[in-house]
A = this chain, B = another copy of it.
């Protein structure tokens, strides 16, 4: 039994002759190791989870597509789960019975901070997006402040004077919106814009519908905006739709920039200018970090900042 196990797991200390003999029998019998027994013994499943607020959100599903392939490259299988922004559900996925199925988790947090000591989870965690608390876990993200500043500066550089933002989420612990707001303010500060004149539209969630409604509020306001930076492409697509409905020309009357570079934006009319995070690289770095932890690599929490670039398309073209 020992020798067979050695052959199956490709260990050393097996005589070449024995190895071929065993291998032959393995093939002949169509032997497949029982994963449950193996897990019972080793405690490892070979599964890792991706936990996101919404699978149906294009940004996350595009990211998931990359991660599935990355997982396979590391000999792992990716399991995708969604929390729908429900903190209880988020907690359950991280420390409930569900957690037993997976060796580690890549999580884009919403309400819960998975590194919070309150979360009773003993498996490796990789954080995507902005970190909520001070806990220590590997963290992959772009520089949201700089990226938001890039977008805002681009709009200001077009000569627009009334640049608004859509997408602040003051009710969430997840700090991504806060970071992007900070970037917006930073860019305005740099050109000496009047702080009191900033215009920030909060949203409940990040669907197209929220963007559409926020844009409607913006257009109804007395001194309407001449440019809008939306914190996600989905919000921007909703905003674009409202402009179309109201006969507001984009980019002539209002220039719009989104964030995420989802495929829909490339084919929208007008095509959507956006901040494009390097999703392939985010997936690569996240899975590399997780796989590293799983193979017992210690060391302090890794902090990876991935590149982004501003893609200027029709919705904000000169």
The residues of A with any CB-CB pair to B shorter than 8 Å are 32-37, 39-40, 43, 45-47, 54-58, 61-62, 64-65, 68, 77-82, 97-98, 100-101, 207-208, 212, 237-238, 240-241, 244, 263-264, 266-269, 271
Contact = CB atoms under 8 A, between A and B. Distances in A.
A274 B146 CA distance: 40
Given A47-B79, A54-B65, A55-B61, 14 more contacts: A36-B39, A36-B43, A36-B45, A37-B40, A55-B64, A56-B64, A56-B65, A57-B61, A68-B81, A240-B269, A241-B271, A264-B264, A268-B268, A268-B269
Shortest Cβ-Cβ A-B pairs, 3 listed? A61-B61, A36-B39, A244-B269
Contact of A101 (B68, B77, B98, B207): B77
A64 B40 contact: no
Contacts of A33: 97
Contacts of A263: 56, 207-208
Contacts of A208: 263, 266-267
Contacts of A97: 32-33, 35
A206 B132 CA distance: 38
Nearest to A37: B40
A35 B45 CA distance: 11
A43 B37 CA distance: 10
Question: How many chain copies?
Answer: 2
A309 to B, nearest CB: 20
Nearest to A93: B77
Contacts of A79: 47, 77, 79-80
B34 A101 contact: no
A289 to B, nearest CB: 21
Nearest to A99: B32
26 contacts: A32-B100, A34-B100, A35-B97, A35-B100, A35-B101, A36-B43, A36-B45, A37-B40, A39-B39, A40-B40, A46-B101, A47-B79, A55-B80, A56-B58, A56-B64, A57-B61, A58-B61, A65-B82, A68-B81, A78-B81, A208-B266, A208-B267, A240-B267, A241-B268, A241-B271, A264-B264
A81 B68 CA distance: 7
Q: Which of A37, A39, A78, A207 has the most CB of B within 10 A?
A: A39
B68 A61 contact: no
A64 to B, nearest CB: 5
Contact of A267 (B32, B39, B57, B241): B241
A162 to B, nearest CB: 23
A158 to B, nearest CB: 22
A55 to B, nearest CB: 5
